[in-house]
Amino acid sequence: MATDTDFTANESGSAAFHTSGTYNRGVDVEGTDIGVRGFCGNDGTGVIGASLKLPGEEVSGVLGAKGTGVFGQGLHKGVYGQITSVTTPKPGESDEPDDAGVVGKGYGNNVGVAGLCFLTSLFDTNATGQLGGAAGVLGASNAVSDPDPKHDPDKPELLGAGVVGLSIETLPVGGGSTVLPHPADRVSGSGTGVWGASGSGTGVYGRSQTGRGGVFKSQPEVGEAKGIAQVRLVPWQANKTLLPPAKGEQGDLYVGVIQGTNLMAMYLCISKGTDDDNPAFWQQFQLGDLIRGVPDSER
């Protein structure tokens, strides 16, 4: 049934509504609560948006504005993004400014992409907002992160990882869209690339089966004489003693300093301790003579 204000399709077929021709917009609808709602009862996809984008064009498969631009909810995946490109350009040579399955941009100093894992179901009426134990954001890759000379520097996978964090001041703009940065390009920002925090757990955890759990490097570009330490352990600000705490795990490093002084000491935990009644045992590092750091011009 169709009227001036309503359209209803109640027959069976491959498509209830179809357009063809040279329309600028195949479907343009507006609603006070929901502009478009798609529902599939056969475990399929509610809405599919596809953009046959040519190089230099700015086209969206699904475009939403105001409030929530695009909202996805499903039993398996809320929102699914997929890129169909079959070529992998080298760093800085991409013809497409946004080659990624999902791109999130936060203008006005807002978060670009946020991932949250909740413990309870969406339909739990007693939900308290408690977060669960699964990953908020999961990234997977088999790329190489170590720019070792034995690796081909022209490989686009170079300096990739499951999750990559870059500190960058500005991004170039091309074709009306933001060009995505590449980890192999020079990173010139002064912020933090990856930041981890926890109340009583581990802030950042690295693990490998046969490689190193963590690698830390500080090396300027060729021709730049700037020296900085690879790792910093922020000293525990002690009031009375430089001795380490009763609680510790084998392999822990502890650095203490008497507040307001330069009196410092560093210890390695040899035996685990859980509390004051079952303390850990530590051994102090025996350091050499005090030396003065040299200027960058002499390095």
User: What confidence tens digit (pLDDT) does each residue in 60-89 have?
Assistant: 666 666 667 777 777 778 888 877 765 555
pLDDT (0 to 100) of residue 51: 62
Asked, for residue 252, whether it belongs to a domain, the answer is yes
For residue 183, tell me if it sits in a domain.
no
> Helices marked H in the chain — which ranges?
none
* Tens-digit pLDDT profile for residues 180-203: 777 667 777 888 888 999 999 999
Strands 253-258 and 236-238: parallel
pLDDT confidence of residue 139:
87
Domain of residue 249 covers 231-287
pLDDT tier for residue 92 given thresholds of 50, 70 and 90: very low
Q: Would you say residue 95 has pLDDT above 60?
A: no
Q: Is the pLDDT of residue 143 over 90?
A: no
Please check whether residue 250 lies inside any domain of the structure: yes
- Looking at the structure of the chain, the number of domains it has is 1
Residues whose CB is less than 8 angstroms from the CB of residue 77 and which lie 6 or more positions away in sequence, other chains included: none
Using pLDDT thresholds of 50, 70 and 90, give the confidence band for residue 175. Answer: low
Give the residue-averaged pLDDT of 236-261.
Answer: 95
Better-predicted residue by pLDDT, 119 or 46: 119
Tell me which of 75 and 267 has the higher pLDDT: 267
> 134 in a domain, yes or no?
no
Q: Which of 13-22, 95-104, 200-209, 290-299 has the lowest mean pLDDT?
A: 95-104
**Could you give the CA distance from residue 163 to residue 141 in angstroms, rounded to a whole number?**
8
Distances from the Cα of 216 to the Cαs of 145, 187, 201, 232, 284, in angstroms? 12, 16, 22, 10, 23
Tell me what pLDDT residue 221 has.
66
pLDDT value, residue 265: 96
How confident is the model at residue 233, as a pLDDT?
95
DSSP codes joined into one string, 9-39: --S-SS-SS---SS-S-S-----SS-S----
Q: Which residues contact 186 (CB under 8 A, 6 or more apart)?
A: 221
pLDDT of residue 97 exceeding 70, the answer is no
* pLDDT score of 235: 96
150 vs 82, more confident: 82
Distance of CA 170 to the CA centre of its chain: 18
Domain presence at residue 206: no
Q: What is the reported pLDDT for 110?
A: 87
Q: What tokens does 17 get?
A: 């509504």
Count Cβ atoms within 10 A of the Cβ of residue 160 and give its class: 0-12 exposed, 13-18 middle, 19 or more buried.
Answer: middle
Strand partners, 178: 173
Confidence of residue 47 (pLDDT cuts 50, 70, 90): confident
- If pLDDT is split at 50, 70 and 90, which confidence band does 294 have? confident
Higher pLDDT, 262 or 25: 262
Beta strands in 189-262 (DSSP E): 236-238, 253-258
Q: Is residue 157 situated within a structural domain? A: no
Q: Is residue 278 part of a domain?
A: yes
Task: Determine, yes or no, domain membership for 269.
Answer: yes
Share of the chain above pLDDT 70, in %: 74
> Which tokens hold the place of 170?
């500005």
The rounded mean pLDDT for the chain is 78
Q: Identify the residue with better confidence: 183 or 126.
A: 126
Tell me what pLDDT residue 148 has.
Answer: 58
pLDDT, position 150: 57
